[in-house]
Structure 1
Amino acid sequence: MPHMEACSKISEIIQGYRHNEFGVYDISHVERWVAQFNVDEQETVILETLKILKQNYITLDSFTQLVNIVIDSNQIYRGEKDNYWQTVSLLDIQKNGSSQDELNDILVKTISERYSVRDIVGRESDEFIYLDDFIFSGNRLLADMHDWIANFAPNGCRVCIITIGWFTYGQWRTKNKLKEIAKEFGKNINFMFASYSNFRLENRLYRKDFSEILWPTESITNLDGYGDWLRDEAFDPKYRQVNGVDNKIFSSLRREKYERIMFKYGLKIMGLSSQNSSVVKPLGYSTFRGFGFGSMVFSFRNCPNNNPLVFWWGDPNANPSHPFSKWYPLLQRKTYG
């Protein structure tokens, strides 16, 4: 196995993922995942994956640091720090999974220690916080907020949506949709978004050549099965053009080959099942026609399904006759019914 040191470093980064729900992610786990790629592809896969995980794996510590920054942010409390934390309401309205509960617990614990404040979740207020780790498409946030705005939000209030980061198109779309929902239900709601400024990632179409997601070049067109997939997907592909500009997520030397590999094996994985939903794409779930979302952001809580299939698709404990047994994931996803 090439680059054992890099495999070991990846293992160190993902240790404790989902509190070891899927087992201990040691070096042999990483090597088993890498071994599924062709030998001449493994060096690119392991080195680029390590580079990306180093900066884009959201750890429990990084989220705790965000919470402390939020508590001290004048942008959030607007000069009324002590009074703000005595009166603000923390929203707990996420429908799927327990991620918001887990993140809210961190904020509540920190605030209670610093301000002796209790019971800030779901109380009456005109100031609200919606806490999550990242905005991808924004679909989940919109679904959560739609019901709350329609049935529970006061007629006038401010909602601070706080995340570690976001994708530019997802945040822009979410902000505009939220304004439309509030208007639909006759609510005067001021939505404010806050995140680390260096974790706002580019994924807009007109900026595709500067994108910070996987966005393949035309080199993928000669992959086996690409033509059949493109006919089924039925869209006009917009390929990224290599422009030589440094990218904060990807290495310039490996990016094009890495995208091609991720797409190639995404196609392979899609071919393992005849029951794929229309949102399943080689580079991750997406409601839009195309290659897939292409996110390369990871979290200690769960691997986003907006990431390429090669990272999270599959289940080593699945029945051998089930498609999930045919691919070994690096970061297995917890799915919600």
Structure 2
Amino acid sequence: MTNQRQTLLQSIATIVADYRQGEIAAIDPNHIDRWVRQFSEFGFDDEAQIIILGEMERILKSYYISRICAQSFLTNVLTSQKLFGDNPAATIRNAQFLQIQRKGNSQHDLLALCEPILQSKYGLSLRDCGSSPAIYIYFDDCLYSGNTAWRDVNAWMPNAAKGTTLHLIFFAFHTEGLRYSRRQIESEAQKYDVNIKFWRLHKFHNSRWNPSQFDCFWALQTSGDEFIDRYLKEIDERRQNSNRSLPDLFRPANMPKQDKIFSSAVARNLIEYAFLKVGAYIVSLPRNPNASMKPLGYDYFDSLGFGAIFITYRNIANNCPLALWWGDPHKAYPLNTWYPLFPRTVNTTQAPGWEGF
């Protein structure tokens, strides 16, 4: 194994050392090497694998949210004068921390991280806050399409006190999801005289209509691969039967104009093609695949996939490329045909509660 390869494997393992800590075996260099070596079956040799590893290291180094990073961000939020004014200690007593998420556990887990921070900074617990709310706090890991936040808030909104402010706070959001959810939530909030504000640590541009900056995986046009061509045939038929105008299926050759995610255009093209090729193969495996299952990540739209790059210590979203998370070597066919880099836990739907701490 070359020194460069070993260095990259060790670096990635160090960055993601706390991924699902206590739930799965720690991600070590051997695990990462086993994952990336699978790409050789799809025509990507050792040199190409080093590029894939290099781009993943770059992305994770900049955007992976470790538990320590999450705690730091939440501490900054809970002591922010932008959110709570000149005297956060007084204001925060009137903040109700919402637990209204109807799918997944991210909100519950993030609120559990908030508890010791509130105790340390203010001598308060979550239950000491918000009995007479002036503001509401909604936490989640990341805003992707915007549907989760919109559905949660829409169902809860009739319970909000008039004249209050709802702060929606994420480690990251995607610009199209923000545009959609903000429009929907603000429209509903006007009926209840509630002000809406969004906050985030990272912002990812993902408009395929205006991709001068595009911060997700989105492959250039290609053909000649059995599984990609099969997928394209199916998706083209669906797109032709669509009644609405759709953006380009493939990333335009001259886009994006600016790129903060990848190290070079050549490296970007290679890793996107590798993930598309593997993802198209994975999509071909299930007998009745989910309609949202796309090579570059689950997406409601008829596309190559959402292409998200964002991963936290808690989990990886199914909006990320299938090559990163799909599969389980301990399960039966077809799940045992691909070894995932980030084994994923599936979100479950929770019974609605609309309770605030």
**TM-score where L is the length of structure 2:** 0.87
Alpha-carbon spacing, 1:157–1:244, altered in 2? closer, same or farther (3 Å): closer
* Structure 1 residue 244, shift from structure 2 partner: 7.8
Aligned residue runs from structure 1 range 210-249, under 5 A: 210-218=213-221, 220-233=222-235, 234-235=238-239, 237-242=249-254, 245-249=257-261
Q: 1:14 aligns with which of 7, 16, 20?
A: 16
Conserved 8 A contact 2:18-2:67: no
Q: Distance in 2 between matches of 1:27 and 1:139?
A: 36
Q: Which moved more, 1:222-231 or 1:21-30?
A: 222-231
Letter in 1 for 2:315: N
Map of 2:354 onto structure 1: none
Once superposed, what is the RMSD of the aligned Cα atoms? 1.9
Q: Distance in 1 between matches of 2:167 and 2:337?
A: 43
- Say if 2:105 is the partner of 1:95: no
Q: Distance in 2 between matches of 1:18 and 1:120?
A: 30
* Structure 1 residue 285, shift from structure 2 partner: 0.6
Aligned residue runs from structure 1 range 88-237, under 5 A: 88-118=95-125, 119-120=127-128, 123-150=131-158, 152-183=159-190, 186-196=191-201, 199-218=202-221, 220-233=222-235, 234-235=238-239, 237=249
Alpha-carbon spacing, 1:244–1:134, altered in 2? closer, same or farther (3 Å): closer
Secondary structure of the residue that 1:298 maps to in structure 2?
A: coil
* Structure 1 residue 246, shift from structure 2 partner: 4.5
Conserved 8 A contact 1:91-1:121: no
Q: Distance in 1 between matches of 2:229 and 2:298?
A: 20
Alpha-carbon spacing, 1:28–1:238, altered in 2? closer, same or farther (3 Å): closer
Structure 1 unaligned regions, length at least 5: none
- Say if 2:268 is the partner of 1:263: no
Secondary structure of the residue that 2:99 maps to in structure 1?
A: coil
- Say if 2:75 is the partner of 1:68: yes
Q: Which moved more, 1:6-15 or 1:71-80?
A: 71-80
* Structure 1 residue 42, shift from structure 2 partner: 1.3
Letter in 1 for 2:263: S
- Say if 2:267 is the partner of 1:254: yes
Alpha-carbon spacing, 1:44–1:117, altered in 2? closer, same or farther (3 Å): same
Q: Distance in 2 between matches of 1:88 and 1:244?
A: 41
Q: Distance in 2 between matches of 1:136 and 1:298?
A: 12
Q: Distance in 2 between matches of 1:267 and 1:26?
A: 27
Q: Distance in 1 between matches of 2:82 and 2:61?
A: 29
Percent sequence identity is 27
Q: 1:23 aligns with which of 25, 28, 47?
A: 25
Secondary structure of the residue that 1:76 maps to in structure 2?
A: helix
Structure 2 unaligned regions, length at least 5: 240-247, 349-357
* Structure 1 residue 265, shift from structure 2 partner: 0.5
Conserved 8 A contact 1:88-1:126: yes
Q: Distance in 2 between matches of 1:325 and 1:272?
A: 11
Secondary structure of the residue that 1:200 maps to in structure 2?
A: strand
Alpha-carbon spacing, 1:84–1:66, altered in 2? closer, same or farther (3 Å): same
- 1:148-191 CA distance string (max 9 Å, x none): 114x22233210111122111111111111123335xx311111
* Structure 1 residue 243, shift from structure 2 partner: 5.0
- 1:209-237 CA distance string (max 9 Å, x none): 4201111112x233333333123113362
Map of 1:32 onto structure 2: 34
Alpha-carbon spacing, 1:279–1:232, altered in 2? closer, same or farther (3 Å): same
Q: 1:329 aligns with which of 340, 344, 349?
A: 340
Letter in 1 for 2:192: K
- 1:10-65 CA distance string (max 9 Å, x none): 11112121114121211111111011101423122111111111112111111111
Secondary structure of the residue that 2:198 maps to in structure 1?
A: strand
**TM-score where L is the length of structure 1:** 0.92
Map of 2:7 onto structure 1: 5
Conserved 8 A contact 2:326-2:338: yes
Conserved 8 A contact 1:149-1:182: yes
